[in-house]
């Protein structure tokens, strides 16, 4: 059984955890031994149990104290599995991964995406780190179904899973290249549900003033690094793609629109047929 630690139990961290539960892996193939987040354990239990977009958790969820001596709950219990709740502020290197026997860390704070920072998890005793975002100087960027076969367990220890948009875009690009259509250049647009970094009412935004407008009533143009990140997973299209994003007033589900100039002429029906075949074959569950 693989022992996992989750650093950052926000939107992504909790949904990774829910995916583990929904696929029946918790306590069978995967043991989540600890989560590190500054939010108290009882509040984390509430957030796991009730999700406005994904619905209520199927499993029994509650928090408890590890012993009568502790002041607050520090254990999250899901489907009978006990998960230690940490609140370590000092960064990855200060986490007790060695003591807990953690094999793999999901780095989902959004703060430690550079290799030097993520390396702290390995220094603390973990064997591998998966960054839930585009990384910097990572050993490899992996998009499942596209380049996962290039993963080398002996040499790849700090792994980026790229971004949500990259995981949507890369499989489409992969099919076009795999089936010999080729790509001269391309433009992608993502119509993206709002995220936790946006504001419910108008407010200041240092990086981009438009980004400070109310997420619930505006379509907000934004940037995306997905086109560039695809080049990390599929080197053949490096420098050939560009793109932008629109943040829209929906809480869940996003869309990628891809326009490409193909190297080889193709009909719409040919492209549709290949996409359908791949979605029912090698890329089933991904595309």
Q: Which residues are catalytic?
A: 164
Contact call for residues 78 and 14 (beta carbons, < 8 A): no
Dihedral, 266, 271, 274, 276 alpha carbons, nearest 10: -160
Please tell me what DSSP assigns to residue 189: E
User: Nearest 5°: CA angle at 87, between 84 and 91?
Assistant: 115
Length of the chain: 287
Contact call for residues 204 and 261 (beta carbons, < 8 A): no
Edge-to-edge strands of the sheet including 183-193?
Answer: 220-222, 241-248, 183-193, 255-262
User: Nearest 5°: CA angle at 115, between 27 and 29?
Assistant: 10
One-letter-per-residue 3-state SS of 253-280: CCEEEEEEEECCCCCHHHHHHHHHHHHH
CA distances from 201 to 195, 210, 213, 232, 248 (A): 13, 12, 7, 36, 14
Place of tokens 């619930």: 216
């Amino acid at each position: 059984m693989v022992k996992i630690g989750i650093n950052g139990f926000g939107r992504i961290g909790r949904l990774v955890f829910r995916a583990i539960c929904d696929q029946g892996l918790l306590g069978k193939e995967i043991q989540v031994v600890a989560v590190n987040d500054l939010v108290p354990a009882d509040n984390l239990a509430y957030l796991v149990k009730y999700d406005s977009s994904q619905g209520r958790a199927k499993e029994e969820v509650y928090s408890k104290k590890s012993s009568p001596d502790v002041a607050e709950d520090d254990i999250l219990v899901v489907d009978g599995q006990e998960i230690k709740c940490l609140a370590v502020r000092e960064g990855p290197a200060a986490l007790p991964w060695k003591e807990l026997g953690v094999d793999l860390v999901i780095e989902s704070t959004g703060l430690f995406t550079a290799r030097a920072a993520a390396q702290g998890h390995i220094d603390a005793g973990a064997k591998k780190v998966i960054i839930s975002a585009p990384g910097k100087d990572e050993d490899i960027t992996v998009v499942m179904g596209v380049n996962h076969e290039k993963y080398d367990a002996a040499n790849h220890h700090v792994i980026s899973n790229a971004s949500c948009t990259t995981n949507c875009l890369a499989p489409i690009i992969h099919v076009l290249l795999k089936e010999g259509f080729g790509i001269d250049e391309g433009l992608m647009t993502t119509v993206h549900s709002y995220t936790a970094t946006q504001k419910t009412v108008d407010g200041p935004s240092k990086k981009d003033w438009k980004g400070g407008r109310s997420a619930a009533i505006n379509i907000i143009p934004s940037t995306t690094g997905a086109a560039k990140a695809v080049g990390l997973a599929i080197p053949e299209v490096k420098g050939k793609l560009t793109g932008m994003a629109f943040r829209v007033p929906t809480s869940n589900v996003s869309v990628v629109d891809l326009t490409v100039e193909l190297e080889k002429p193709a009909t719409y029906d040919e492209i549709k047929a290949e996409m359908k075949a791949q979605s029912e074959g090698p890329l089933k569950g991904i595309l």
